[in-house]
A and B are shown apart, each in its own frame.
Chain A
């Protein structure tokens, strides 16, 4: 494997953020899968159980941070993949802002959902 394959320009701020979020997501995604598939089982899910977890401030904060980092990591990954495939000019700008808008919608909807479980009247 003589060549280095990556969609990212190394050394940029986005490159660094992609790696910092990757490190965080490695731990939290493993925790998420383990908790919701192995400790609890997916077919046992209920609103009250989800609510019980989300009412704990530490869990709520972790999940909101999980949402923020996963959205950034995923959307930034998609953007860099498209740029790497040759996206440029006006199309690049349009795609960038479409992805930013999609990210905002995803984050707002995710936080509204978390608030609904946590009993925070902001949803």
Chain B
């Protein structure tokens, strides 16, 4: 069974210099988790425009003049949205890589190299995010 630790308050920012890698991993995983669940609700809300769009005439759908297509195209036309999407990718990739690390730790794999695997998660997240920028920004200008 797990053991409880008194981590103190995250909100007490002056403590940040005392944090070790495991604490940062815990904070980043929690922060990215909050962002992702917030995004899921927003994502479904935006995609819900498909419900009224499904009642549109075929010609309107073919021309892309329905409310769903117009909503997505309008949003994707904003540079800010594209930048936020890159941010979302970074958040998702980190959560996935760090989550994989946590799954392996729960299975008893890599217990002695948790610091290294956390740093590897951060570096790989940065690399994947930077490599994805051209794809995510394409057509925004």
Show the binding face of A for B, using Cβ within 8 Å: 1-11, 19, 22-23, 25-26, 29-30, 33, 37-38, 41-43, 45-48, 50-51, 67, 70-71, 74-75, 77-78, 81, 102, 106, 109-110, 112-113, 116-117, 119, 123
Min CB distance B100 to A, Å, is: 6
Min CB distance B68 to A, Å, is: 5
Give 11 A-B contacts (CB < 8 Å), ordered by A residue: A5-B22, A5-B23, A10-B2, A19-B103, A22-B102, A25-B96, A26-B99, A37-B136, A41-B139, A46-B64, A106-B41
Chain A residues positioned under 8 Å from B92 (CB to CB): 29, 33
Using A9-B2, A43-B73 as known contacts, say yes or no to A77 and B85 having CB atoms under 8 A apart: no
Chain A residues positioned under 8 Å from B102 (CB to CB): 6, 22
Min CB distance B13 to A, Å, is: 16
Please report the total number of B residues contacting A with Cβ < 8 Å.
56
Q: Cβ of A45 and Cβ of B72 under 8 Å apart?
A: yes
Using A5-B22, A9-B2, A81-B30 as known contacts, say yes or no to A23 and B103 having CB atoms under 8 A apart: yes
CA A70 to CA B139, docked complex, whole Å: 30
A interface: dominant SS: helix
Q: Cβ of A116 and Cβ of B37 under 8 Å apart?
A: no
User: In the complex, which of the residues A42, A74, A77, A113 contacts B48, with contact meaning CB atoms closer than 8 Å?
Assistant: A113
Chain A residues positioned under 8 Å from B41 (CB to CB): 102, 106
Q: Apart from A37-B85, A37-B132, A78-B37, what are 12 other A-B pairs with CB-CB below 8 Å? A: A2-B22, A4-B2, A43-B73, A47-B64, A47-B68, A74-B40, A78-B33, A81-B33, A102-B41, A106-B40, A109-B44, A116-B53
Using A29-B92, A38-B135, A109-B48 as known contacts, say yes or no to A22 and B103 having CB atoms under 8 A apart: yes
